[in-house]
């Protein structure tokens, strides 16, 4: 992997990640852009104990442009985009309309390929490995920013999810706090460790799932399963078998196997609802240990956390979505319409091989 960092016309950072070491990236952003101005702030909800990002400037962000005006495609002639060069393998840049900025963190866009009509599942294993290396590099770099406490790499796919740009891409949020979801998990890890005299909760969960009927696919270094208490109709958790706190902790064997396992999982997702159906909308989310202090989670260190990816869709049957209505949105109590065991069986049935 070759990494080349440059600046866009408004001062934002852009980084090319190339498969070839001899690739030269010297294209200049020719757009007449003013300096980016954001109004992001983080406010604390004292009743719930969590934080909310206020980002009113995002109302003006790009919304469903036609394919020939996509800002994530490479620049061609006088059609200028967020990527100055005429081609790229993978690229990361600071979001022009960030939810978090400055002392409130940072938001980046990750373009997986220059092919506007592709999806992540269409990538080659070599391309997926490049994206994995880019996620890892950005996790490392962002973790050293003084305002950043947790790094979250994710992909939203599909209009049903709320995606406003059709180009295959994901995002990275660098939060100035430990997210509520992670904090809740760490409290459970701490309580289990104390109650069992030191047992790791992630290890216990993984051991149970490996022995159950909800395993979807398994490699030498990774395992994917539908969790016992799945929140979503089709939800899969992908874990490295060796517990590590973040992407930086993966060894070469796990990195090498990941593309094959992940591509198989994504392709199965696109087969869930049968031939002729639109591509399955999904969210793919990497869960990593916070980089900040963990004093509030007594007895827990970063090494007690287990890196994992959660992949889920909001579609429950062909043509029908799972909406977060009263119980889910009002009380955060999910009601799943599909038994996790049935979801796992379906995902095994649609193996792409």
Among 155, 67, 139, smallest CA distance to 106 is for 139
Q: Is 169 a catalytic residue?
A: yes
Contacts 24+ apart (CB under 8 A), 48-51: 48/180, 49/180, 50/180, 51/177, 51/180
Catalytic residue (choose from 116, 144, 169, 221): 169
Tell me whether residue 159 is exposed, middle or buried, using C-beta atoms within 10 angstroms of its C-beta: 0 to 12, 13 to 18, 19 or more. exposed
CA distance 123 to 129: 10
Give the tens place of pLDDT for each residue, 294-331: 888 989 999 999 999 999 999 999 999 999 999 999 99
Note whether 288 and 139 are within 8 A (CB).
yes
CA atoms within 13 A on the CB side of 192: 15
Cross-strand bridge partners of residue 312? 235, 283
Region for 199 from its dihedrals, namely left if φ exceeds 0, alpha if ψ lies in -120 to 50, beta otherwise = beta
Cross-strand bridge partners of residue 175? 150
Which residue positions in the chain have pLDDT lower than 50? none
pLDDT for 60: 62
Residue 289 tokens read as: 């240990």
Give the tens place of pLDDT for each residue, 164-212: 899 999 999 999 999 999 999 999 999 999 999 999 999 999 999 999 9
Portion of the chain with pLDDT greater than 70, in percent: 98
| pTM score of the predicted model | 0.95
Residue 259 tokens read as: 């593309």
């Amino acid at each position: 992997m070759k990494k080349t960092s440059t600046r866009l016309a408004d001062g934002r950072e852009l980084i090319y990640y190339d498969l070839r070491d001899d690739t030269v990236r010297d294209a200049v952003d020719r757009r007449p852009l003013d300096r980016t101005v954001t109004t992001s702030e983080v406010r604390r909800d004292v009743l719930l104990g969590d934080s909310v990002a206020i980002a009113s400037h995002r109302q003006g962000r790009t919304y469903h442009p036609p394919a020939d005006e996509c800002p994530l495609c490479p620049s061609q002639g006088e059609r200028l985009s967020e990527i100055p060069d005429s081609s790229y393998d993978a690229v990361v840049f600071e979001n022009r309309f960030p939810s978090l900025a400055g002392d409130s963190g940072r938001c980046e866009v990750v373009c997986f390929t220059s092919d506007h009509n592709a999806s992540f599942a269409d990538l080659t294993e070599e391309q997926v490995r490049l994206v994995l290396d880019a996620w890892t590099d950005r996790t490392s770099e962002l973790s050293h920013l003084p305002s950043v406490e947790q790094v979250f790499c994710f992909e939203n796919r599909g209009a049903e999810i709320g995606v406003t740009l059709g180009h295959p891409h994901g995002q990275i949020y660098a939060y100035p706090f430990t997210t509520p979801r992670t904090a809740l998990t760490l409290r459970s890890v701490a309580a289990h460790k104390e109650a069992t005299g030191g047992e790791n909760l992630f290890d216990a969960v993984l051991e149970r799932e490996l022995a159950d009927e909800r395993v979807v696919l398994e490699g030498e270094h990774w395992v994917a399963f539908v969790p016992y208490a799945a929140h979503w109709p089709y939800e899969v958790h992908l874990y490295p078998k060796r517990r590590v706190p973040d992407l930086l902790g993966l060894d070469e064997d796990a990195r090498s196997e990941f593309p094959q396992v992940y591509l198989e999982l994504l392709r199965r997702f696109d087969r869930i609802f049968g031939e002729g159906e639109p591509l399955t909308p999904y969210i793919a989310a990497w869960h990593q240990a916070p980089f900040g202090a963990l004093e509030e989670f007594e007895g827990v260190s970063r090494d007690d956390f287990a890196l994992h990816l959660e992949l889920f869709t909001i579609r429950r049957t062909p043509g029908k979505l799972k909406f977060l209505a009263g119980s889910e949105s009002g009380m955060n109590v999910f009601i799943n319409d599909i038994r996790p065991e049935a979801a796992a069986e379906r995902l095994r049935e649609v193996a792409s091989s």
